[in-house]
Amino acid sequence: MSSTAVVEPRRVRASGDRAATALSLGFVTLFLMVMVALPIAALVWEAKSDGAQSFWDAVTSPQALAALKLTLGAAAIVALLNAVLGTMTAWVLVRDDFRGKAAVNAIIDLPFALPTIVAGLTLLALYGPASPVGINVAYTRTAIVLAMMFVTLPFVVRTVQPVLRELDTELEEAAHSLGASQTTTFRRVVFPNLLPGILSGVALAFAKAVGEFGALVIITGNIPYKSEVSSVYIFGRIESGDSAAAAAAAVVLLAISFATLLSIGVLRHFATRHDRA
């Protein structure tokens, strides 16, 4: 932890400070505007290009809603699973030591380096009808979670690792010497410091799971209303020539993702308020 018991001297803000703030903010804003806001604005524009009624029909159609429910539900499960398993993995990679640890650390990012079709094909080969281990979950809802887990695996692991490295073990040792149990130490001392990292990773994992397409289309049934995720529904609308409806569904998905990301940010703000006291 980084708080001190000493009263901090009042910081003298030089004009250079203000300039630095303005410059960095300006750069960030400009970059985000060009890179992120412009494409999203184009989508919003396209979504409303057929009129408000069309927009409404497109986003409230039973097929769109079914896909939305499925996608958000699966992404939420995946985000939670990642929070737990990802943190555990980061812990083992930073605090534990065993032969082959470096190799394990090296392969964590491979779900990104492989094109999504490879993810789909290999998961299908392993956990589909021809499974060598006798597990066949292909074309079920489990397959959706499985594919999403693959593509989001690196997130929480990699966001927690650097935080864990910086974590001062003195505090844990102090807690132990004061008689705290393992669980209490983790809950009171370690976890609050990991939480910002975990939540960062969870936000990334949720967003990525919502937007995943390539790995999912290989291993899910894609049956409309039943096993079709939003990204496939949107793809169907584009292929049918209805890009306005596709943009509408995409915008709604974006809005919901944005709200979720905001909430995670608020959660993190709330959970780390003691650091700013």
Partner 1 sequence: MRKFVYLGAALLALAVALAATAGIGSAAPANSADTKLSLVAYSTPRAAYGQLIPAFQKTADGKDVSFTQSYGASGDQARAVKAGLDADIVALSLGPDVDELVKAGLVDAKWKKQSYKGMVTDSLVVFVVRDGNPKKIKGWNDLLRPGVEVITPNPFTSGGARWNVMAAYGAWRKQGKTDKQAQTNLLKLFKNVTVQDTSARNALNTFASGKGDVFLAYENEALFAQSQGQDLPFVIPKQTILIENPIAVMKNSGDKEKANQFLRYLRTPAAQQIFADNGYRPVVKSVLEKNRKKFPVRPGEFTIDQLGLGGWDKVQKRFFDPDAGIMARIERQVGGVTG
Partner 2 sequence: MRSRVQRLGLRSVVLAYLAVILVGPLGIVFYRTFEDGFGPAWDALTTPETIHAFKLTLIITAIAVPVNTVFGIVCGLAIVRRKFPGKGVLNAFIDLPLALSPVVVGLALFLLYGAEGWFGGWLDDHGIQVLFALPSMVIATIFVSLPFVAREVIPTLREIGDEQEQAARTLGASGWQTFWSITLPSIRWAVIYGVILTTARCLGEYGAVAVVSGRLQGQTETATLRVQERWESFDLAGAYAISIALATVAILVLVAMTVIRPREEAH
Instruction: Choose between 203 and 251: whose C-beta lies nearer to partner 1.
Output: 251
Q: Say whether residue 121 binds partner 1 (CB under 8 A).
A: yes
**Of 63, 65, 211, 242, the one binding partner 2 by CB under 8 A:** 211
- Measure Cα distances from 82 to 16, 132, 224 in Å: 42, 26, 27
Tokens describing residue 189: 């001392």
Residues 58 and 248: beta-carbon distance below 8 Å = yes
- Cβ within 8 Å of residue 230, ≥6 positions away: 64, 67, 68, 70, 71, 210, 249, 253
Instruction: Work out what residue 128 binds among partner 1, partner 2, none; the CB cut-off runs from 5 to 8 Å by kind.
Output: partner 1
Nearest to 138 by CA among 126, 128, 130: 128
Q: Which of 143, 161, 175, 219 binds partner 2 (CB under 8 A)?
A: 161
Q: Which residue among 92, 137, 171, 271 contacts partner 2 (CB under 8 A)? A: 92
Sign of CA pseudo-dihedral 60, 64, 66, 70: negative
Q: Binders of partner 2 among 39-68, rule CB under 8 A?
A: 39-40, 42-43, 45-46
- List C-alpha distances in Å: 169 to 7, 48, 100, 106: 24, 54, 24, 25
Is there binding between residue 158 and partner 2 (CB under 8 A)? Answer: yes
237 to 256, contacts with partner 1 by CB under 8 A? 237-242, 245
Rounded to the nearest whole angstrom, what is the least distance from the CB of residue 82 to partner 1 in the complex? 26
Footprint of partner 1 (CB under 8 A): 20, 23, 27, 57, 61-63, 66, 121, 124-125, 128-130, 138-139, 217-218, 221-226, 232, 235-242, 245
